[in-house]
Structure 1
Amino acid sequence: MTAPRTPTWRVMRQDDNGNRYLVARELPKAEAERLAAELEARGHKQLYWTEPEQA
């Protein structure tokens, strides 16, 4: 029997024109949140967020 897969997270970005882009994927939740916070702290107009990846 295979162990259940650990959920992975991705970091997304939306620019000031409303375009959405994948920044990173297959990250543990804590790492995705750290990366999104780091990118957000740079002060650009982009919006960063994390979301779970679909199985």
Structure 2
Amino acid sequence: MNNLFLQIEDFYEKLQNGEFDEPLALAGVLQKLSDAAWLELEEVYQPSLRID
């Protein structure tokens, strides 16, 4: 299974267990997941023409 999906499953389990009492901690984890998703998206859908 994809590493990103495993991270999301782990996050969801921790969220259900109430491990994110502080909004800042929750926001940090969501930001990491979001960044990882964007990186994976860029790897999968690389532009056909790159202008640097």
Q: Which has the higher strand share?
A: 1
Q: Which has the higher helix share?
A: 2
TM-score of the two chains, using structure 2 as the length reference: 0.38
TM-score of the two chains, using structure 1 as the length reference: 0.36
**Structure (1 or 2) with the larger CA radius of gyration:** 2
